[in-house]
Amino acid sequence: MEAAIQRRVEAAVEHAARQARVQRRRAQGAEKLYRTNRRRANELAALVRVIDQLPRWQYGSVIPGKAEWADKWEHASGLKILMFAKRDYSGSFYKWADAINNHSDHAARLVVTAPHQFGYQLDLVLPNPDLIETDWPTLWSESDVLHIKDETGFMDGSNRLPPEMLTSFDGPKIFTQYGGYARKHKDNPAYRDFVLSFDRVVSMTPDLCFEWLGPHPIYVPHSIDCHGNRYQWVDSPLVGHSPSTRARKGTEEFLIAVQLLADRFPIELDLIEGVSHLEAVQRKRHLGLFFDQAGREMESSLGISSVVGWYGNSALEAAVYGVPTIAHLSEEALVGAERAGVENVRSSPIVNTPLGAHGIADTLRRLFEMTPEEREQLARETRRFVETFHSQEAAAFRLENIYQDVMAHR
């Protein structure tokens, strides 16, 4: 009996000791986290003090901005379109703003709160006003239309920006759907209500033309400057791929596909990765073929594995030179494009590939088995398609109609 009591006492003592060790480690962890957060807060405060001493430009921008855009804004004969994104992923908003400024009577300014790591072109950079004082209210008050690219940032506060940057604007507001968060939240009632609260909703890829947007959703394709990027394709076995995120692009499956064909065709691979945006574009112009994507959203980061199912700016940066371009075009996206009124979308020269290594390999094989004349015909069709569907002129025409329509129905 005494031995049993002794064991229980020892067990209780050991349990108490373990609990004490756990509490001590928790306290140490909390102290470490406190010190880390305090250090980061001090570093941020010091950075803000330094930035406040740096030269500032119009509206408090930390870079000068586009002088020609500023001049058109000041002397605008049409509407003033304020395009706003926390960060302009893939530079797609800049290209729309450039299209508006170059090919319409309207004037556009693009505001971001931080540059992108790949070095896409910028206009105005107005950091988060909770951190650094800027004159964003003046720019907002000068604008006729607010066109944002934000997804769920203002809906749930995840962009950490003052809500009044959206709510205080008195004119028409346009929302842009462009990526994985739209796919993730498409069935979320709160997301639907938020999106539909805007005066217009524009989708950058047709798989985002959801049925709940109505019978005639608005799809505006990515745009690219065709005048500054001439046709220059030359047939070669050089196949390029430029993944920003490998899992999302289907990069591993693509690399396996290349290996499956290595014994049959003299394929050369240019994996354009970990370089600046400028270098990536320069390398694309020398390709014989370009593989854009045949991948899925990353479940580890978004909690979904939806098929991406369309192509974006990276593909156009090759296709504009006439480089035959491969991407997986999902049935959902093709139907969405048709719902948005795009004709002949299924006859696009963008080469539709199945998902998976063997499907990609079959697509590459078909292209390598073409005659040089057939590949040249595909290259010229690719360039013509970009000119008619993705040029700045085409984008400006679509956007101009949206802005005029939303103003007419205020």
pLDDT in tens, 367-386: 999 999 999 999 999 999 99
> Left (φ > 0), alpha (ψ -120 to 50) or beta: where does 160 sit?
left
- In this structure, are residues 354 and 294 in contact, taking their beta carbons and an 8 Å threshold? yes
Angle between helix 392-408 and helix 92-103 axes, rounded to 10 deg: 80
Is the per-residue pLDDT at 211 higher than 70? yes
| Structure-block tokens of residue 254 | 């693509």
pLDDT in the model for residue 16: 65
Query: For residue 177, how many C-alpha atoms fall within 13 Å in the half-sphere facing its CB?
Result: 27
CATH number of 58-223+394-408: 3.40.50.2300
pLDDT one-digit tens code per residue, 301-346: 788 888 889 999 999 999 999 999 999 999 999 999 999 999 888 9
Domains in the chain: boundaries: 58-223+394-408, 238-390
**Sequence-ordered strand ranges (E) for 80-144:** 80-85, 107-112, 124-125
* DSSP label at residue 386: I
- Kindly state the helix (H) or strand (E) to which residue 294 belongs, with its residue range: none
CA proximity to 244, closest of 203, 275, 199, 279: 275
- CATH number among 3.30.750.24, 3.30.1600.10, 3.40.50.2000, 3.40.47.10, domain 238-390: 3.40.50.2000
CA distance linking residue 108 with residue 83, whole number of Å: 7
At 41 the three-state DSSP class reads: helix
Report the range out of 12-26, 36-50, 185-199 with the highest average pLDDT.
Answer: 185-199
Fold agreement (58-223+394-408, 238-390): yes
pLDDT surpasses 80 at 8: no
For residue 399, pLDDT beyond 90 = yes
Q: How far apart are CA 116 and CA 244, in angstroms?
A: 12
How many other C-beta atoms can be found within 10 angstroms of the C-beta atom of residue 42? 10
The answer to whether 36 and 42 are in contact (CB under 8 A) is: no
